[in-house]
Amino acid sequence: MATFDTAFVQENFPALGKGQVYLDNAGGSQVARQVADRLNDYLFTANVQLGASYGASVRAGAMVHEGRQALATLFNAARPEEVVMGATTTQLFDQLARALVQRWAPGDEVIVTNFDHEANIGPWRKLADKGIVIREWKMRPGANRPDLDDLKALMTERTRLVAVTHASNIYGTINDVRAIADVVHAGGALICVDGVAYAPHRAIDVQALGADFYAFSVYKVYGVHFAALYGRYDHLLAAGNINHSFFSPEKVPQKLEPGNANYEAAYSCVGVIDYLEALAQAHGVNTKGRAAVEAAFALIADHEAALSQRLLDYLTAREDVTIIGDPSPEADRRVPTISFVIEGQPSEAVVRAVDPAGIGIRFGDFYSRGLVQDLDLPNPDGVIRVSAVHYNTADEIDRLIDRLEQIRTKGLEAVA
């Protein structure tokens, strides 16, 4: 395995290297240069409405389709028509819920969790107004992964869908989606996966996972503020229409894209593939497309595991720190989103004391409010969260550790 070339990586993110350390990436990553190049290309050459016969419109349509195909490559979808594009994952799940409920009946059931981001809970809970029964799959006290037996106990012949996260944006732990999907499908239901906290760190493979629906936010995967939802084609075909009334049931995926997606943002997604291909090639893997995506994320996983270990080793050695989630740095167990609390120190105060060092971290519940509330933490302001990605470096982690040590030895007031 080639040594990870952090210099190459940082050269491809123009926002880096200006003094600010970005360790709040679970809220949104920096944008790769290739993404901005594609965005500008669309705006300066094809910024017109689609569907006309003149040249610029034809070119614009082809570019938007290329963006959809790029997202299909990231999902490893079977066809680009399985990709629904939109502004945010929250919005896309809401659109999906409104489409699916048209084919369900009062008394049908949806299972949500108490450990997901609200994006994959709230839209489904709203269906109670339509007579849908909402059940809750809860994390067992002290655990950081859900128990499949608890899911099996919740499922009935009326269960239509189970909504679950691939990786927790608090714990950082990776759930076994394939095993969950097998249980869900054995019960005759569909599975909807929130991949927002997973997608920046690993190659998604919706076919291998057995996912019926899967969504992630492009703006957390080195792109612009945009999102994508995968739906298996037959499920999208069967879903209701939430677009204009004259759209036919066969108009997939446009019947789930009311008002159209953002064209330039769609085309900019090609830049995410451009960047991942360049990353793979910089490390001696001369390939394109899906193979390059998988190779790039394999490199990313190894580098991020080393970053996780560096921070987790420090936090574990401190008797006054409680790590929220799996303390293991292993790439198959977690992503480098690490949450913790410090005994006797408010999470907000710690984060604000880190700010002057030019290091961006965050505190709160991060819209996983049910999970954080059920943890019953002594800190009413939630957890401290450090969320790295592959463009972060060991030196940056060391800068954070040094600042946390200053806070520990000198006190919050002395370093604020």
Q: From CA 389, how far away is CA 23, in angstroms rounded?
A: 8
- Range 147-175 burial, b when 16+ CB lie within 10 A, else e: eeeebeebbeebbbbbbbbbbbbbbbbbb
Each residue of 257-310: pLDDT tens digit? 999 999 999 999 999 999 999 999 999 999 999 999 999 999 999 999 999 999
> In the structure, what pLDDT confidence band is assigned to residue 2 with cuts at 50, 70 and 90?
low
**All domains of the chain in start order, with CATH:** 6-31+292-410 (3.90.1150.10), 35-272 (3.40.640.10)
Q: Which of 222, 217, 231 is nearest to 273 (CA)?
A: 222
Residues 229-259: tens digit of each pLDDT: 999 999 999 999 999 999 999 999 999 999 9
Question: How far separated are the first and last CA of the chain, in Å rounded?
Answer: 42
Checking if the pLDDT of 416 tops 60, the result is yes
**Mean pLDDT of all residues in 369-386:** 91
Give tens-digit pLDDT for 22-45. 999 999 999 999 999 999 999 999
318 vs 376: CA distance, rounded Å: 21
334 has a pLDDT exceeding 70:
yes
How high is the mean pLDDT of the chain? 96
pLDDT, residue 29, reads 98
Contact, 177 vs 166, CB < 8 A?
yes
The pLDDT tens digits for 30-86 are 999 999 999 999 999 999 999 999 999 999 999 999 999 999 999 999 999 999 999
Query: In whole angstroms, what is the distance from residue 181 CA to residue 187 CA?
Result: 10
Angle between helices 394-410 and 347-354 (to 10 degrees): 120
3-state percent breakdown (helix, strand, coil) of the chain, nearest 5:
45, 15, 40
Q: How far is CA 75 from CA 97, 205, 258, in A?
A: 20, 6, 22
Kindly indicate the confidence band of residue 413, based on its pLDDT and cuts at 50, 70 and 90. confident
